[in-house]
Structure 1
């Protein structure tokens, strides 16, 4: 009986503490959502530039032009116009613009530790082998893959082995080189490297900011309603 009485007493203490929990939350957190921000004067020009940058990075050039004047718009969207022209060519399985860009930025890409130039030549080599045969592929390899032999010998050797499977690469140990996914992955990596070289983040800063705000808003709304919080650690 003593044990039961002791448990009942403990349970009462727990219930009492829980009943005070919501009041403690109200004291610890201000439920007024207006306290979560400061009244500041926005620089409309700066805000418009941020929005324009977002649309240019997303390839929405007409929308971006609505937020900045013409001279500034031309300067801001010029690199993204080039990027989307390259990406459009890749979607059409034309690697020439991408290869030209990689050649122009060879040293910068090398300094960043990027091997995208080799990946572009690899895909071009496979396309030539598939469409034009062994002899043309070998010529291409001598001209464009040989310079990478010292730093990427294993990759170059694998591509040379593909020559033995000319006309039947799809049934070879290197059939994955024919996967359409290689084009998508290359386009994504090129976008990342392109943005890096022009000093832009891969993801639009505006998108990241909005996403963070949307993710945090439910918590603020719960605080406003005085509800218990569930903290999630990513």
Structure 2
């Protein structure tokens, strides 16, 4: 498909040199100009007779479509008659322009079809066909994450009604006639519902409890975006133990931004502009004023704003930063030092400290991640991630299936991909280690093991190489004991 892009690019450049809607628009403007000119000509040569009544004038207007005087009743008809052929020719030009544009669009559409032929997607086997309730759950969770609570509730009500009328899908057969209900049985053995109706009801109850939590999330996010950090700070403080276990800095980041915002809360930039405007207006009046002297109304508001902002920020720091002094001493010192340069922060070494252009948006994203993590959920919607990853992998999958079918071979592995799919870094969640000896990917049952020499092998490969309790590293002459090998985690 990629090798056809240069040809498609040439076709696209050719479209730019062909007919466009500009010609049609120009022709329509020409028609409008002719009509306006005719209207002005008729109106300019006629005026109401002094003795004509309003009712009489309106009746003549309705009869002839134009207002005219008793002196020249045929002037309007003559002008409209002369206008017929130019207007007719103008409409023909517009139609020709539109036909040319339509022809160009069809030609480029054919070029698109040649470059991107429609390839049917294989649908012989759908691994999710037996789990409609799980698909519904993913959709509901996505709607809740996006804040569409009413839509999620209606969707679950309809899904529950449909599940009550649908036979149990746990004992279904695949397209080869093989009983494939083992996965559902294993899933039910773990304590989860074992049929579609029970799963739907369980999802409904779960979504009901999560809806209130996500509503609070969106309420706090709204407050953050409106520069009100108090609800977010209260939530992080109430969940400080859980956040501490995760090594999260969310509470400190919220308090730090609150400190910065308090220091800037008196609109320092606006006060600076007012002060400079007053100084320019008064000329020499504000120059060489001694400290403590009278600086005028603008400067007085400026200093008062600085005093109020610094006082509020310092008071907040005394009340809240003490709990963070062990983990973030350097940050706290930098914030305190920045206040000294508050009146000239842009020229100071601490200019970046008071920069809040994207601070609230970044903090809202961080708050969402931590909030979802405490609920045992990922920061991004799994449905969105799965759909995006599937869309990226789909072209390669179609090409692979086409190649295997041409060779009369079939892809039989339904639980894993037959090839690597390059995904963006944002979708890489778990590192993968392939044993250099067995060439197999490590798993939970066969984890990677670090040898005393620093080389890494799979657990099974290590035991296959060992003679009793001793082994020799296949990559260096060093020997070691199996008990000295340590499992590592990526």
Matched, 1:62 2:150: yes
Matched, 1:79 2:213: yes
Instruction: Find 1:149's aligned residue among 316, 319, 325.
Output: 325
TM-score (norm 2): 0.38
Matched, 1:216 2:393: yes
Alignment-derived partner of residue 88 in structure 1: 222
Check the 8 A contact 1:32/1:224 in 2, yes or no. Answer: no
Instruction: Find 1:137's aligned residue among 293, 298, 313.
Output: 313
Which whole-Å deviations, capped at 9, do the CAs of 1:133-152 have from their partners, x for residues lacking one? Answer: 22221111100012211221
- 1:222 counterpart SS class: helix
Larger radius of gyration: 2
Check the 8 A contact 2:262/2:312 in 1, yes or no. Answer: yes
- 2:155 counterpart SS class: coil
Where does structure 1 differ by over 6 angstroms across 4 or more consecutive aligned residues?
none
Give how far 1:36 is off.
5.5
Q: CA RMSD in A?
A: 2.6
Hey, what's the Cα distance between the residues in 2 that align with 1:115 and 1:163?
22
**What does 1:43-54 correspond to in 2, within 5 Å?**
43-44=132-133, 46-54=134-142
- Structure 1 window deviating more from structure 2 (50-59 vs 70-79): it is 70-79
Alignment-derived partner of residue 364 in structure 2: 187
Which whole-Å deviations, capped at 9, do the CAs of 1:23-52 have from their partners, x for residues lacking one? Answer: xxxxxxxx99345644842343x3322211
Matched, 1:207 2:384: yes
Matched, 1:175 2:351: yes
Give how far 1:101 is off.
0.7
**Which has the bigger relative contact order, CA under 8 A and spacing at least 6?**
1
Give how far 1:66 is off.
2.0
Hey, what's the Cα distance between the residues in 1 that align with 2:350 and 2:361?
18
Hey, what's the Cα distance between the residues in 2 that align with 1:146 and 1:42?
52
- 1:221 counterpart SS class: helix
Hey, what's the Cα distance between the residues in 2 that align with 1:199 and 1:225?
40
Alignment-derived partner of residue 78 in structure 2: none
Q: CA, structure 1 residues 122+43, in 2 after alignment: closer, same or farther (shift >3 Å)?
A: same
Hey, what's the Cα distance between the residues in 2 that align with 1:108 and 1:142?
24
TM-score (norm 1): 0.76
Hey, what's the Cα distance between the residues in 2 that align with 1:144 and 1:63?
41
Give how far 1:178 is off.
2.1
Q: CA, structure 1 residues 194+72, in 2 after alignment: closer, same or farther (shift >3 Å)?
A: closer
Which whole-Å deviations, capped at 9, do the CAs of 1:49-103 have from their partners, x for residues lacking one? Answer: 2211111112222222222247654312111111111111111011011111111
Alignment-derived partner of residue 102 in structure 1: 236
- Structure 1 window deviating more from structure 2 (32-41 vs 111-120): it is 32-41
Q: CA, structure 1 residues 48+37, in 2 after alignment: closer, same or farther (shift >3 Å)?
A: closer
Hey, what's the Cα distance between the residues in 2 that align with 1:233 and 1:41?
29
Check the 8 A contact 1:56/1:64 in 2, yes or no. Answer: yes
Alignment-derived partner of residue 162 in structure 1: 338
Alignment-derived partner of residue 13 in structure 1: none
Structure 2 segments unaligned to the other structure (5+ residues): 1-119, 158-203, 266-307, 407-418, 424-490
Hey, what's the Cα distance between the residues in 2 that align with 1:41 and 1:232?
26
Give how far 1:162 is off.
1.6
Q: CA, structure 1 residues 36+81, in 2 after alignment: closer, same or farther (shift >3 Å)?
A: same
Aligned residue pairs: how many?
202
